[in-house]
Amino acid sequence: MVSDPVHIQGRILLLTEDPELLRRQLAGEDLPLEVAGSLRDQISTDEITPAFICYHYDEKLGDFPYLGLKCGEAFPVKEGAVRAGGFAVSVAGKRRGKGSSREASPYAELCAGIRLVIAESFERIYRQNAQNLGLLTSTDFGLIERIRRGEAIPLAEFTDGLDAVTAEIVRRGGLFAYNAARLRGEVAPPLPKRPPRPMTFAEKLLARHAVADAATGQVGLPAVQPGDGLFVKADWRFSHEYVTPMAARFLEQALGRDIVLRDPEHILAFRDHLTFLHHSMRPEHRAMGLLSVAERLKPAQEAFCAKHGIRLHGELADGSGSEGICHAIMAERYACPGQVVVGTDSHTPHAGALGCLAFGVGTTDIASAWVTGDVRVTVPPTLRVRLNGRLRAGVSAKDIVLHLLAQPIIREGGAIGHVIEYMGDGLRDLDTDERATLTNMAAEIGGFTGLVAPDEETVHFIKVRRGVDLALEPWMRGDEDADYAHTLDVDCEALGPMLARPGDPGHGVALADLDGLVPIHIAYLGSCTGGKREDLRRAFEVIQPAAAEGRRVPEGVQFFVQCGSEDVRRFASEHGWIAAFEAVGAVVLGSSCGACINAGPGVSTRPDQVTISAINRNFPGRSGPGQMWLASPATVAASALAGRIVGA
C-alpha cells in the first residue's frame, strides 16, 4: 500500500519550451513556476522515450527519459541527466503522453526517480500506465510549492475524481498489487448498479463484457454509464515484440515463473515492428550497442510464446518481411462485431471498424490480462462524429481524420479518453479498410477508441476476407436516445484532400491552401494506416497512367511501398498493383511496420529531408530527423511522381 500521507522528496523538473531554462534545471538550478515560462504542451511518448530507447525493457530505461523532448529547435536532455538531477516530480502542460501506448515512457520516468507527474491534462493510456506502475499523477499545480516546502500530501488528493477501481489501484501502488489481492479474494471491484438506460454502442459492448463475478466467470450488467469502473472480459489479447518481453518480465517479477495464462488460445503475439530495423538503424545508435539490444527482443518473445502455447505471427522464413502488422491481421482474420479486443499498441482501435471495442493497453495491463482474462476500464464518454453528405471523388478517410485533428476541440484535448463513434451518410463511401483508418487514428485524436457500428459492409468484408457468413445482432448499435458527450459534424461534400504539417498530426492544412512548392525527398506508402488493400488501390489508380506511359519518380526522390500484411501483398500482386509501383521506380518492401516506427527503409536520415507519408503520426523524430508531412495514399502517390507535394 502507498503510504498516507505521501512524502515526495526530491527536485521538481519543469518541462519548459525554453531549452536553456531546461538545461539550467538539469545543471542544478531550481526554477519557480512563474520563471519557467510556457510549459511544453502535447509531449508525446516518442519524445519521452524515442523508439530506439524502447529496445531496453528493464531499469536501464531510467537513463533515457525525455531524450527526444524538443524544446524550440533543441533537444536539451541527455542520457542520464534526469536520474543524475535527483528529480522526483516532472511538470508539463496539456495532453501529456500523447501518441504511442508504450509503458516504457512512464517506466523510464519511474526508474529515473520520478514519483509524481503533473500536467494540465493527460492522454488516457499514458495516465493509466502511470497508475498501473505506481507513478502518481495530478493536474494540481498547487502541489509544486507544497512539495518544495516539504509538505506531506494526503493520498486522497491523488485519488480524488477517480472511479473506485482506479482509486484502489493507486492506493495499493499499482495494478499488479491490486490484481494479486483480487486473485487472493482480498478485494473485489464494486459493481455499478445501474437500471436499464439508453446506451451508446460502446456502452452496450462494455455492459455485455463486464465481469460480474470473477470467481464464476459470469459477465454482463444491465447497464453502465461514463465514469463507472469495471473489469471487462477480453475476447482477444495481443502484444508485439516491443512489449511482450517487458510484460513477461513484469509478470514473472510479480507472480513468479510458474504462472498459468488464462485461455492462451485467445492470446496472440506479433513480430512486426522491428523486422527491418537492421536496414535503417543510425550509426550513432549502432555505436550505442542498440542493435544487439533490439535483437534480444525476438528470442525473448519466441521463448515466452513457446512456453505458454501462444500463437506468434512472426517473420517470414526467407527474411523478406513479417506475416503482417498486428492491426492489419487482427482486422483481416480475428476481430468480429460485438467483441472486445485489447492490444499493446495505441492503434489497436483499427479493428473498431468491424464493430468491436478495440483499444490499446500498456505493458502491465496486458501482463495482468494474460492471467485474469480481463482488463480494467473506466467507462468512457462518447464523441459522435456525423459524416454528413457524400464524399467527393478522391477524398478519403485519411482526409477526414486530418480535418478532425485540426479542429479546436480535438487540438485542445476535448476528445481525450472518449470513444470516437462514426456515423452518417459519408460512411457509405468508405469500405472497411477506409473505416479502419478512421478508427485507427482515434489514437491521434486522443480517444479511448474509434468505433463504427457494423452493417452490410462489415458482413461483406468478413465474407470476402475470411469466407465466413456473419449474421449481425439487433443490439449492435447505439440506442436512438443515448447520451453523447459531444457531436462533431463533418460536411463531407465540402471536404477536400488534407495534409498535416511536420511536427504533429494536428497541424492540419487543406491541400488547396498549401502555400508555395514543397519539394520532397521521400514518399512512403505503408503502415497499418496506409498499407491496406484500399490504400494501395487508391494509390495504384494514381500511378497506373504513369506506369503505362513509362514515367518514373524524379531523380532524387525515393518512393517506398510497404503492405500491411502478406495477405494484402499477395492481393496487390495478383491485381498488378505491385508491378505498376515497381514500374515507376518504387521500392516495394516486405510486410512490416518499418519506417512508421523509425525502424526500416523510408526513414529520413538528415534534418533537411522532406517526407510525405501515409502513416498516422509525425511527431519529432518519429520517422527520422527530417520534416514529415502526413497525407492520404493518393496524395502520397501523386507527390512521389511530381517530386513535390501535389494532389492526385
Owner of C-alpha cell 512486426 = 272
Q: How far apart are the first and last CA of the chain?
A: 59
- Classified by CATH at the fold level, domain 233-375 comes out as Aconitase; domain 3 (3.30.499)
- Which pairing describes strands 311-313 and 267-270: parallel, antiparallel, or unpaired? parallel
Please report how the helices 104-111 and 124-133 are oriented relative to each other, as an axis angle in degrees rounded to 10: 40
Answer for the pair 538, 577: CB distance below 8 angstroms, yes or no.
no
Name the phi and psi angles at 97, rounded to 5. 85, 30
Note the pLDDT of residue 217.
81
Cell of 222: 444491465
Q: If the chain, 648 residues long, is cut into consecutive pieces of 10 residues, what is the mean pLDDT of each piece?
A: 95 97 97 94 94 90 96 95 98 94 95 98 94 97 97 97 94 93 88 95 98 87 96 97 94 88 97 90 90 93 96 93 96 98 96 98 96 95 97 96 96 94 96 98 96 98 97 96 96 97 96 94 97 98 98 97 97 98 97 91 95 95 94 98 96
For residue 65, say if its preceding peptide bond is cis, omega within 30 degrees of 0. Answer: no
- Write the DSSP symbol of residue 555: T
**What is the tens place of the pLDDT at every residue in 359-415?**
999 999 999 999 999 999 999 999 999 999 999 999 999 999 999 999 999 998 899
Q: Which pLDDT does position 122 carry in this prediction?
A: 96
Q: Write down the pLDDT at residue 374.
A: 96
Q: What region, left, alpha or beta, does residue 435 occupy, with left being phi > 0 and alpha being psi -120 to 50 degrees?
A: alpha
How confident is the model at residue 221, as a pLDDT? Answer: 96
pLDDT tens track for 224-267: 999 999 999 999 999 999 899 999 999 998 888 888 999 999 99
pLDDT of residue 49: 96
0.85 exceeded by the pTM?
Answer: yes
| DSSP letter, residue 59 | G
Contact indicator for 303, 297 with CB cutoff of 8 Å:
no
pLDDT computed for residue 51 by the predictor: 87
Question: Cα–Cα distance between 597 and 606 in angstroms, integer?
Answer: 17
Same CATH fold, 500-642 and 233-375? yes
**Within 10 Å of residue 642's Cβ, how many Cβ atoms?**
17
Cβ atoms 45, 124 nearer than 8 A: no
CB hemisphere CA count around 21 (13 angstroms): 18
Q: Regarding the domain with residue range 11-178, which homologous superfamily does it belong to in the CATH classification?
A: Aconitase, domain 4 (3.20.19.10)
pLDDT at res. 214: 77
Is the C-alpha dihedral spanning 331, 214, 483, 101 positive or negative? negative
Give every CB contact of residue 142 below 8 A, 6+ residues apart in sequence: none
Kindly indicate whether the domain formed by 500-642 is annotated with CATH number 3.30.499.10: yes
Count, residues in the chain: 648
Using CA atoms, how far apart are residues 517 and 475, in angstroms rounded to an integer? 51
Q: What Cα–Cα distance (Å) separates residue 67 from each residue in 84, 135, 246, 621? A: 14, 19, 20, 11
- In this prediction, residue 119 carries a pLDDT of 98
What is the rounded distance in angstroms from the CA atom of residue 457 to the CA atom of residue 397?
15
Q: How far apart are CA 97 and CA 579, in angstroms?
A: 41
Report whether 99 contacts 74 (CB < 8 A): no
For residue 430, what are the CA distances in angstroms to 302, 457, 459? 37, 9, 14
Domain boundaries, the chain: 11-178, 233-375, 500-642
